[in-house]
């Protein structure tokens, strides 16, 4: 059961269940064991996460009206934020950084619906809709099906693995800031963005002659003070709407600068 703050009413109930695999016995083997040359693939467990709104609807008719008129993707996005809040709490409580945030594209199935309390807690429902994957996610292609754009991540990966290109620290920091922003962790996003911008201004400088990268670096440099101010505010507490807009905007600028470095290919 999740509450925004201590003493407040619950906002959501999260129910987790494991499906599709035999329960493992938690017994440590003393020795390694031989396996067949072509062993059968092991059953893979699937986790079902059910995010339940703590505010009940008045009747089944009201529930059906809600389902018919709801912005389903908005509810899914909010549920993912709630689930990632729990994963963050788990990381902090266990001092274990390995459990990572989840995203829409990782889900095998996404459903929005309603039902009685015990029913939805057990993964069942009175009525529900299974949503299709977002456009472009299923095939990995970008909207419009442009083959050149779809292949760029593969080309970059090949360049990274072959040593023809290097992963920059600012790229990893930008990804972390984006993940924090997507999960609603504005303070963490602001703090990470400040370091990411400083790293980008240093690391991207050797490529400033590529495309419009020089202009984008000037843009980032001009945003240093407002990013620093947002990060300083994050040390003291939450960000207001203006500061959140700064974090979102400058992170987008940073991501554009990173794309500009590799837009013309890897030399």
* Continuous H helices in 95-146: 117-121
Domain boundaries, the chain: 12-23+43-130, 166-262
Whether residue 83 contacts residue 51, with contact meaning beta carbons closer than 8 Å, is answered with yes
- Note the pLDDT of residue 143: 44
184-189: average pLDDT: 97
What is the pLDDT confidence band of residue 7, given thresholds at 50, 70 and 90? confident
Residue 193 has pLDDT above 90, yes or no: yes
Whether residue 112 contacts residue 148, with contact meaning beta carbons closer than 8 Å, is answered with no
- Cα–Cα–Cα angle for 205, 235, 256, rounded to 5 degrees: 30
CA distance 63 to 71: 14
What is the pLDDT confidence band of residue 35, given thresholds at 50, 70 and 90? confident
Greater confidence (193 vs 137) lies with: 193
The proportion of the chain whose per-residue pLDDT surpasses 90, expressed as a percent, equals 67
pLDDT digits 0-9 by tens, 243-254: 999 999 999 999
pLDDT digits 0-9 by tens, 124-137: 899 999 999 887 54
CA distance 189 to 244: 9
Residue 141 has pLDDT above 60, yes or no: no
Angle between helices 186-203 and 224-236 (to 10 degrees): 150
Using DSSP, state whether 238 is helix, strand or coil.
coil
CA distance 257 to 263: 10
CA distance 172 to 12: 32
CA distance 109 to 105: 10
pTM, two decimals, is 0.80
Strands (E), the chain: 12-19, 46-53, 111-114, 127-130
């Amino acid at each position: 059961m999740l509450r925004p703050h201590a003493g407040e009413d619950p906002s959501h109930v999260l129910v987790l269940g494991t499906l599709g695999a035999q329960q493992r016995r938690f017994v440590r083997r003393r020795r390694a064991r031989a396996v067949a040359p072509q062993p059968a693939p092991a059953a893979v467990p699937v986790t079902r996460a059910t995010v339940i709104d703590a505010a009940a609807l008045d009747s089944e008719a009201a529930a059906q009206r809600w389902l018919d008129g709801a912005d389903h993707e908005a509810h899914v996005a909010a549920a993912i934020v709630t689930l990632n809040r729990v994963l963050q709490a788990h990381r902090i409580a266990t001092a274990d950084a390995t459990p990572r945030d989840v995203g829409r594209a990782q889900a095998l199935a996404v459903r929005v619906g309603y039902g009685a309390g015990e029913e939805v807690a057990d993964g069942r429902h009175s009525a529900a809709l299974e949503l299709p994957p977002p456009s472009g996610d299923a095939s990995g292609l970008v909207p419009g099906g442009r083959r050149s754009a779809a292949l760029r991540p593969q080309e970059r990966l090949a360049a990274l693995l072959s040593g023809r290109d290097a992963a920059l620290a600012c790229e990893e920091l930008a990804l972390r800031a984006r993940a924090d922003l997507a999960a609603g962790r504005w303070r963490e996003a602001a703090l990470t963005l400040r370091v990411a911008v400083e790293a980008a201004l240093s690391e991207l400088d050797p490529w400033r002659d590529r495309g419009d990268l020089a202009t984008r670096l000037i843009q980032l440099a001009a945003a240093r003070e407002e990013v620093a101010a947002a990060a300083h505010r994050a040390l003291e507490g939450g960000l207001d709407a203006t500061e959140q807009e700064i974090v979102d905007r400058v992170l987008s600028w940073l991501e554009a600068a990173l794309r500009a470095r590799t837009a013309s290919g890897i030399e």
